[in-house]
Amino acid sequence: MAGMRTYLSIFILILLFTVPGAQNPNNANYDEAKAGTYRLPDPLVMRNGHRITTAGEWPVRRAEILDLFAQEVYGRTPSSAMAVKGRLTFETVSRQPAALDGLATRQEITLRLTNRADGPRMNILLYLPNGRKGPVPVFLGMNFNGNQSVTNEPDVAISSAWMRADNEGRVLNNRATAKSRGMAISRWPLGMILRSGYGVATIYYGDLYPDHAQGLADSIIPHYYQPGQRSPGPDEWGALGAWAWGMSRCLDVLEKIPGVNSRQVILHGHSRIGKATLWAGAQDPRFAIVISNDSGEGGAALARRNFGETIERINTAFPHWFAGNFKKYNREVDSLPVDQHLLLALIAPRPVYVASAAEDLWADPRGEFLGARGADPVYRLLGRSGLGITAMPGLHQPVTTTIGHHIRAGKHDVTDYDWEQFINFANIHLKRPASMRKR
Ligand code: GCU
């Protein structure tokens, strides 16, 4: 009986640690008064104490910060993996010119992730709105459940990659079933996006790294080891780094697809994918706009605040996400040479948007706002409007300056409200005249 109870407790603990959004309220602090005091690293002060006062000096500080995030937080992407940029081969495996009742042309594109014909592949699902003149901007983002989950169309290939279990028969034996078609459509309002004149590109994140603690062997990472290497070094990439790398490889492909304006690709991501999105946007200046939705710890939320998820918690529950070095900070957050406001600052002067949800306390909405606020001095140094406010706005009062922000009512999720704001933000910053917007 006692043994049974032990098993049950272990099972519940495992559930709490692995189910997305699951939280242990006994462990995490949700009291603002106990969020602690801290000093954030100043975005404009170099490690050697030199203060940056001109836009011309920013690239030096930017390189320093980027290197610190690579070294201490997300891990470096090996140069062998960067060398393949734009050189991997891809093919369009299906094309449907009248998808979604004629609204869009749909393509499924397979990209080889190494230069071996039988190596791993990544499948891109791309919709481009029909009847538009010239190349269109595209929202690019990874999905959690396979490309077939973002649409109800019966002829989109079902992902055959490893997938997290689900108790509704949509994923059986860690493989998606036909029941998973359309399971994420509420997060992917294709009609709204396409009618606004934007294309949509998506990839299953598990094509790059199966999201579990033993996923490394089946991830892209071993394919880029140095000769004789058997595991990533403590300063090398983990799952977040691999997902971010995949986003850039998708952009390499979009650059070659007629009909896509690859200089107007808006990278977006929710939650753990939102963390990878910010890291990809920080590293790859080709992304025109970067959007984080509920990205929380390791995303837009300040790590130094003791509120909701913490570094120790995230490294324990998801040991495969960050660089090994990041574990040094489990109980030493104050010695971390960066904080997440600096990640947002790396995106400057490009527009960045931080979206939060009021009930998503695990992701620390106030910490996400303060992350955005902390990036503001860099945007202003570069002559941009930045966030433009200092106090956190109330619900449903979107900010659309170069650092955009909103907090909406409700839970950890991606909703139509979020998408309306993302599209509006993109319209503003891509300077799309009203005639090019809604149809
Ligand atoms: C867990 C994790 C978060 C993450 C979330 C998600 O809750 O602790 O850091 O953002 O899953 O990806 O949904």
Ramachandran bin of 15, using left for φ above 0, alpha for ψ from -120 to 50, beta for the remaining angles: alpha
- Tokens 């709204």 sit on residue: 192
Residue 12 placed within a domain: no
Query: Which amino acid does the sequence have at 326?
Result: F
The answer to whether 196 is a known catalytic residue is no
The answer to whether 271 is a known catalytic residue is yes
Return the residue whose CA atom lies nearest to atom 13 of ligand 1: 20
Whether the CB of 362 sits within 6 Å of ligand 1: yes
Exactly one of 159, 271, 292, 356 is catalytic; name it: 271
Return the residue whose CA atom lies nearest to atom 7 of ligand 1: 21
* Residue 437 pLDDT greater than 90, yes or no: no
Residue 29 placed within a domain: no
The total number of structural domains in the chain stands at 1
Residue 212 placed within a domain: yes
Here the CATH number for the domain that contains residue 59 is: 3.40.50.1820
Average pLDDT over residues 219-240: 98
Q: Residue 27's pLDDT band (boundaries 50, 70, 90)?
A: confident
| Burial letters 21-37, b for 16+ CB under 10 A, else e | eebeeeebbeeeeebee
Residue 209 placed within a domain: yes
Query: Residue 7's pLDDT is what?
Result: 53
* Residue 128 pLDDT greater than 90, yes or no: yes
Residue 281 placed within a domain: yes
The proportion of the chain whose per-residue pLDDT surpasses 90, expressed as a percent, equals 92
Cα distances (angstroms) measured from residue 141 to each of 113, 147, 302:
18, 11, 23
pTM, 2 dp? 0.94
Residue 163 placed within a domain: yes
Residue 37 placed within a domain: no
Domain that holds residue 297: 47-436
Residue 145 placed within a domain: yes
Whether the CB of 271 sits within 6 Å of ligand 1: yes
